[in-house]
Structure 1
Amino acid sequence: MTETTSGEAQPRALLISAQSADKLAELCREAARSPFRYGLRRQTDARETLGKYRRAAVASGETEAAEILLAPPETHGAPKKLAFAFPGQGAAGAVPVAELRRLLPVFSKYLGIAEKAAERAAGASLTPLLEKGRNSDALAEHISVFAYGAALAFQYIDWGFVPDLILPHSLGEFSALAISGMADFEETAEFVCRRALVIDSIKERGVMLHAEAPLDLAEELAARGAGKLSVASVNGPRSVVLSGTESAAREAERALDMAKIPHRRLRVPYAAHSPLMGEAAEKIAALPFPALNEPEIPVFSTLDGNPLSAAICSRAERRAAQCLLPARFDKVIAAARNFAEGAEITAAEFGVHRTLAGAGLAAMPESRWLGASSMKRYVADKPRAYCFRRGIMETAAALWEDGFADGLEWTKI
C-alpha cells in the first residue's frame, strides 16, 4: 500500500447515545437515512446528557455508515473492565509515522522522546525503523515495538481511555511499566535499547518455533532436546513456543509433523526465553534500570501472572529471568479473569498487529479483543495511512461504545 491519502475519502465518526436500547435503535434508524448530515456531533435523545446506550459508526461513505448503524450492536449492558495488552517481539510492522504524528499529538510527543532515547542509548534512528516494519535484529525490533505501543497507549489515555489493568507478553512488560506509572518512559526506552544491544551481541542465536500443541507435549519435546530446546512461551492450552538450537528445532519439527500438529518458525532471530540466552541474561541483569514506583494501574507479570510491584521489578535476577524463563501469557490471562471478578474484559492490543488476540479470545471467549490501530476488516486497496487512521478511530469508537470514556477528542483525527 502507498502512504499517500491524497484524494481519499477519510473516515468520519458519528456517535449516538440514548437512555434506553429502544430509543437508541430509533435514533440509529433516523440517523441512517442521512448519516453525514449529523457530522461529528454527539446525538442523544435528551441532547444535553450522554446516554448509557451508545452506537458509534466510523465510515468513509454514507452507505457504509448506514449499514453500521442498522447492524445489530456488538455491546450489551454487562459490567466491563478495560485492559491494555502489550505484545512482545514479532508485533512490529510498517507504520506511516509522518501521518500518525500529524494526527496524534500525544503519540508524536512520546515518539519524539523515544527517538532521542534511542539515539543516545544506541545511535539508532527510530523513524526509519518504524517505517520499515520488519527488522532483522533485536535493537530495531525491540525499540520499534516498545515505542510504537507505548506512545499510542499514552494517546488513548489522553483521550480518556484509562485501562483498569495491563496485560504484557514478554518484551511488552517494559511498555507496561511505563504506561502503569512504574517507570519513566524515557529511561525505559534507553534500557530497552541497551538490553537489545546485549542480545544482538550473543554468538549462538538459535531459533523459535510456534506449535498448536499442549504444554505437556512441548515439555516432552524440550526434554528430548537434551538442554538444547526449551519451552519459551505458553499462550494458551494449545499454543506454545519452543526455543533452542537449529538442530534441536528441526528434530521437534519432525516430531510435530509425525503427530500432524501445525507449527511454524517465528521470525525472531534468536532463541529468546531459553538457556541460550544465559550470557546475555547476565549482562542484562547488570545494566542500569529505571527508578521504579508502585503501579498506578495493575500489571500482571509475564513470568507468572502475579501482580507486579516496584520491589519485584527492581531485582536484577528477575531481569535475567525474563531472558531465560518462559513467557506465561496463559497465566496473565488467568490473572486478568480473576481480577475482573465476573466483569467482561475489553482488551486493546498496542501493537501494529493483533498477535495476542487468538490466545486472549480462546481463554476469554466472552471478551472483546481490539487492535489499537487495526481495522475491523482489512481493505486491500486502501493506503496504509488510511488503514491506521481508520483502525485507531474504529477502536476508539468501540471503547466509547463500551462506556470507557465520554470525550470526543478522538473523533477529530
Structure 2
Amino acid sequence: VSLAALWRACGVEPSVVVGHSQGEIAAAVVAGGLSLEDGARVVALRSKAIRAIAGRGGMVSLAQPLADVEELLTAWAGRIDVAAVNGPGSVVVAGDADALDELMAHCEGHDVRARRIPVDYASHTRHVEAIEAELAEVLAPVVPRLGVVPFFSTTEAELIDTAGLDGGYWYRNLRQRVRFADAVQG
C-alpha cells in the first residue's frame, strides 16, 4: 500500500491491481475497494483467527505443473490440497502436518523439488472452515466500496467489482485456492 502511494506521488497510476492470498487485501486498498482501516482490520483479525488452526497443518511448495501435483496428491486425498497455483511449474499444497511429512519424504525419494514453507497452518484448505463463523462475525463491519482501479481477484480468477469485497469474500480468499497463475496469464 505504501509503495503504491509512493508511485502515485510520482505520477504513476496503476491500470489494474492483483494480489496473492493476503496480498489481495493490499491490492483492494490500492484499488480503492477498501479503506486503509478496513484493509488493516481484515489483515489483523484474519491473522488472529488463524491462530485457532495453528499447529495442525502446514504448506509445501512444489516445482511441478498443476496436473502432476494433482496426480501426486491422490495418495493423500482429503489430507493435502492444492492451495495455490503460482505459475506453470509452481504449486503450493497445504494440509495435515503428518501428511505433508509423508509428501516431503516421497518427494525426496523421487527427485521432486519440494520446500516446506515455514508455517504451521494450512491456508486455502478445509482447515480454514473451522474459523468461518469467527471470520463472519469479526469481518462483518468491513464496508467495501466501488474502486477506482480495476481489481483482478485471484480468488475468482477474474476482474471483479470491489463493492463485493465484504467479510464473506475475505473468508473465501483464505479458504479457496489462490489462482495467481490465472491472473498473470490472463
Match of 2:154 among 294, 299, 302: 302
Match of 1:208 among 47, 59, 62: 59
How far does residue 185 in structure 1 lie from its aligned partner after superposition?
A: 0.5
Distance 1:207 1:315, change over 3 A: closer
1:314 aligns with 2:166: yes
Match of 1:198 among 49, 58, 64: 49
How far does residue 326 in structure 1 lie from its aligned partner after superposition?
A: 1.0
1:284 aligns with 2:155: no
Match of 2:179 in 1: 328
CA–CA distance in structure 2, aligned partners of residues 265 and 202 of structure 1:
18
Aligned ranges for residues 128-277 of structure 1 at < 5 Å? 150-202=1-53, 204-277=55-128
Q: Percent identity?
A: 29
How far does residue 204 in structure 1 lie from its aligned partner after superposition?
A: 4.6
Aligned ranges for residues 45-64 of structure 1 at < 5 Å? none
| Cα contact 2:142–2:167 (8 A) shared by 1 | no
Count residues in correspondence.
Answer: 185
Amino acid at match of 1:288: A
How far does residue 284 in structure 1 lie from its aligned partner after superposition?
A: 1.3
Aligned ranges for residues 32-47 of structure 1 at < 5 Å? none
CA–CA distance in structure 1, aligned partners of residues 14 and 64 of structure 2:
32
RMSD: 1.8
How far does residue 289 in structure 1 lie from its aligned partner after superposition?
A: 4.2
CA–CA distance in structure 2, aligned partners of residues 151 and 188 of structure 1:
13
Distance 1:220 1:285, change over 3 A: farther
| Cα contact 2:124–2:175 (8 A) shared by 1 | yes
Distance 1:252 1:273, change over 3 A: same
| Cα contact 1:305–1:334 (8 A) shared by 2 | no
| Cα contact 2:33–2:144 (8 A) shared by 1 | yes
Q: For 2:60, what is the secondary structure of its paired residue? A: strand
| Cα contact 1:253–1:263 (8 A) shared by 2 | yes
Amino acid at match of 1:208: M
Instruction: Kindly name which structure, 1 or 2, has the bigger radius of gyration based on alpha carbons.
Output: 1
CA–CA distance in structure 2, aligned partners of residues 254 and 243 of structure 1:
15
| Cα contact 1:210–1:264 (8 A) shared by 2 | yes
Q: For 1:210, what is the secondary structure of its paired residue? A: strand
CA–CA distance in structure 1, aligned partners of residues 60 and 43 of structure 2:
24
How far does residue 182 in structure 1 lie from its aligned partner after superposition?
A: 0.8
Aligned ranges for residues 74-113 of structure 1 at < 5 Å? none
Amino acid at match of 1:299: F
| Cα contact 2:29–2:35 (8 A) shared by 1 | yes
Q: For 1:200, what is the secondary structure of its paired residue? A: helix
Amino acid at match of 2:172: A
Unaligned runs of 5+ in 1: 1-149, 336-413
Runs of 4+ in structure 1 deviating by more than 3 angstroms, as ranges, are none
Amino acid at match of 2:140: P
Amino acid at match of 2:108: D
CA–CA distance in structure 2, aligned partners of residues 249 and 221 of structure 1:
12
| Cα contact 2:50–2:131 (8 A) shared by 1 | yes
For residues 173-224 of structure 1, give each alpha carbon's deviation from its aligned partner in whole angstroms, at most 9, with x where no partner exists. Answer: 1101111111111222122111111111235531100010111122123332
How far does residue 161 in structure 1 lie from its aligned partner after superposition?
A: 1.4
With structure 1 as the length reference, what TM-score do the two structures score? 0.43
| Cα contact 1:204–1:276 (8 A) shared by 2 | no
Distance 1:171 1:269, change over 3 A: same
| Cα contact 1:281–1:319 (8 A) shared by 2 | no
For residues 121-177 of structure 1, give each alpha carbon's deviation from its aligned partner in whole angstroms, at most 9, with x where no partner exists. Answer: xxxxxxxxxxxxxxxxxxxxxxxxxxxxx1222122112111111121110111011
Distance 1:204 1:221, change over 3 A: farther
CA–CA distance in structure 2, aligned partners of residues 159 and 263 of structure 1:
41
